[in-house]
Structure 1
Amino acid sequence: MLGTALTLGGCGVSYNSPSVQEQVEGLPVTVVPLDSQALAFANSAPYTPRSLPAIFHQVAGSSGSVRGLGALPNAPAVPTLAPQPLELRVPPAVEPQPYEIGVGDVVLLATKSASGSTVEQLSGLLAAQSQRQGYTVRDDGAIAIPGIGQIQLAGLTLEEAEAAVFDAIVRQGVDPAFSLEVAEFNSKRVAVGGAVAAARLVPITLNTLDLGEALTAAGGVTLRDQEYASIRIYRDGTLYQIPVETFFARPELQNTVLQAGDSVYVDTNYDLDRALQFYEQQLDVTQLRSSARLQALNELQAEIALRRAALAEARANFTARADLGAEERDYVYLAGEVAEQSRFPLPYDRQASLADVLFDRGGLATATGDPTQIYVLRPSRTATGEDAVTAWHLDAGNAAALVLATKFEMRPNDILFVEAQPITKWSRALQQALPTLITTAAASVTN
């Protein structure tokens, strides 16, 4: 090998392989072996990763106007859904009103008979009602009592309904002694879904239904983390929002009175897609006859679609600018015996490790790279304030040392450099010099 080297030198042929020296262009180079103590010092260099624009943290339900809405109606009130403390939007108070009988409700009518005790009469009547499922208020708002006829009850309070039944019984010459009660409440309901034990329709009865009771009827809230969870109430085209943490901390919010047609959704993220799907299903099932609410849902969907398109366009514009190099980025550079000599853009909103940079680009060139000579070259300053270079040296001859690479934090303009193996340097020098040697030998033979 020495003879060949002399021959190469004599022919004026040399091969220069890059390596880490103690001096470069007048700048001192300090090689620091990378261990746990050196790792902590290297990571102490201040660096704050660049952040993605706010458009990447927003969703379609975020507040703010969107250009080009044209003649669309004003968007319903939608909570701010950016990653920040959730805004409290309590629905307006509902004044308690007497229960009005509606379509689908079942009423029980108890009357006295000429014979038998009151208990026997009532028991017999209840058994009969159970067989025919009571007097159900039909779609036309009336019930049909055999021997009495049809009586309009829809829209009447219980007292008004008793008066209507009294008049109908008296007109038929029947003893007007009776009692009337609502056995099944089917006309007024509140839909509860999302992060609850069992989504269901909760009926409104003679007593008012508050938010805490509705959630309890659905099995309660089922959440691992309440920090960004919210209870959304959809009412008359408007979304109201109560953060779950605030809901449990303030009893008065648990007593929020609900009204017929409300949809309650316990949401665990900022995206309205699932909530909107739930609202749409409930509107189709329970509010099909309400054209105004269907229109409100369409307006809400149109507004969110426009906002989603605006966000997508803004994100695409940013991505295009980044691809064209118009956005500021921080880079780390890879050189030497790596699988691909290139530059690695440091990620947004998080730190990147030496292992991230190395293995994202294919790792070391296993056939030529020297795993004991891995360096991170970083600009630094001497004790006197002069410019210098620190070469953090990772010896991965023992593969366990790569654990340090997963903890070493990269900084902008770091250079990851891997030296070639000694045999690689010799092989390349020989490969480049071989044509010259052949030419020289041929010339000597000719002479």
Structure 2
Amino acid sequence: MLPLLLLVFAAHFDAVFSQCQNLSSLEFAYAPNLSSGVTGQVIFNNLVHPRGMKFDDASNLLVVEAGFGVVALTLKNTSHCQGWERSVVVQNSGYNHGIEIGNGMLYVSARGTVDAYKYDSRSISVGSSNPTTIVNELGGWNGTDYNNTHTLVYQPPSDTDPAFLIVSIGPASEGNLYAGQASSGVSQIRRFALNAPIPTFGHNWMDGEVIAVGVRNGVGLTIDSGNNLWIAENSVDLSLWNDTHIPVSLASPINNNPADELNVVDLDNITGGFYGYPSCATVWDPTGFGNFTTGEQFAFTYTLLNDTSCQSPDINTPPMLTFQAHASPLDIKFYNGVTGNNVSFVGLNLSWVGNGFVSFHGSSSTPSIGDPALVKIPWNTSTHAPVANVTSQTGYTYLIQAGNLTACPGPCIRPVGLQFDMEGRLFVSSDATGEVCVSRFSWKSFG
């Protein structure tokens, strides 16, 4: 049997409480290119900008519809529904990306807060429409210079530590000169102990434990079996540098630098280390960069650091792997194979167990520079690291790409969230552009 790749792609959907879409009636609006041995099927469409996703323990797929709230997709096989049924869990127009489940709670992020609801997976409902605010004042003293979206990761308790909620935040601007300081509140990742008393209005963002600083926009987050936090990071977009690193103009055409990055934090040895932004970046295409090579660090000239400082691991933590410039990675997950009981078939190829999978949202320029795609990263499970090193441009392979790259970022897939189910099937959301959303863009998976 061929390995199966299960994807989810979507657009706009009316705000009804529940509705079924039979699998036999669904097709791609803009068919992607799939690599050999990878197949898929639409499971749902017409959602409102689907972003982050999370399976609960009853196999309901919870999805953040940005600007609407949280919905659940549940597989049905009845006379009335032979497909997936959408039901509303929480209707809140402020929720836009982050979602997590842990210790019986549903966590969701808005622009300025992280909220929590007591969640029942059997009834697919929350205990109250009024959430508990876990974190507030996201953005620190930077005022308005922070992104609307924040990724959430639940870190389970251990023998020595309580459970934590990990939260990321990036700047809205291209070059926030204060982002290298922990006191700036942006371009960093923090965590909050879930056993601590919660203040009336939630924990202030600046009171969280600093995990990493200078991560420009670490959107894709996941924890591996070695208790390492992996960060798929979006670097700056609008920059063009010559071989002396002098900025030509922020209005110049987007070129093929700097690289987006895959970084790592050892959660057993948190130092709050510096990861480069806004001083240092990583070369993807060394053409015109003098003696630099792919994966090497260089300094932006408007900062206090120089190339030597950026290349010193005592000052700047280098990435573990580089991604194509402007790929805009938004999620990362590891494939654990079949984890459920009485599974009838396997989702992805079992030889891929342990590998990493990353969603590329692609650039917003026209034509798109970074390809919207899903990629697979060969992984060394013994060392808890990618097989390739940071100097490689072939450290990952494409499994799905937009069918017509010249049409992007318009009518093409734009992957965001990733989730594996217990059968090893991979679900991918695509938030889509406005045009795609009115064009019956669809989720892809198997029932």
Same fold? TM cut 0.5? no
Q: TM-score, normalized by length of structure 1?
A: 0.19
